[in-house]
Amino acid sequence: MTSAQAAAEGATQPPALTIDALGKKCPIPIIMLAEQINYVPRNAIVSVLADDPAAFTDIPAWCRLKSHHHVGSHELPGGGWAIHVRRNY
């Protein structure tokens, strides 16, 4: 799968797992993601719900560091973001 195909699929693929980290301060959302990402199949999407502004930048940085793919971040109606990560390995 090319990166363009993965990005297109990530935009429409529903998350295999949603992690509710709303109200939690960094680094807790990243710790929750790191603990749970291996429970989804390779190439599956994990959605991290977070409202700490640090998570908005730190989760994509964690993805680069750990070789996972940050698919995108979407604003939530009540505040915060759904940050989508594709498990690469």
What pLDDT digit, counting tens, does each position of 17-40 carry? 999 999 999 999 999 999 999 999
Structural domain of residue 35, as residue ranges?
17-86
The answer to whether residue 63 is catalytic is no
In a domain, 64, yes or no: yes
Answer whether residue 45 is part of any domain.
yes
Q: For the domain that residue 30 is a member of, what is the CATH number?
A: 3.30.110.40
Any domain includes 40: yes
- pLDDT of 1 reads 46
**Count of domains forming the chain:** 1
- Cα separation, 37 vs 41, in Å, equals 9
Beta bridge partners of 81: 50, 75
Residue 37 lies in a domain: yes
Stretch 5-11: mean pLDDT: 51
Task: Out of 7, 16, 17, 26, pick the active-site residue.
Answer: 26
Q: What is the 3-state secondary structure (H, E, C) of the chain?
A: CCHHHHHHHHHHCCCCEEEECCCCCCCHHHHHHHHHHHHCCCCCEEEEEECCHHHHHHHHHHHHHHCCEEEEEEECCCCCEEEEEECCC
Does pLDDT of 4 surpass 60? no
| Residue 61 is assigned to a structural domain of this protein | yes
| pLDDT tens-digit series, residues 38-72 | 999 999 999 999 999 999 999 999 999 999 999 99
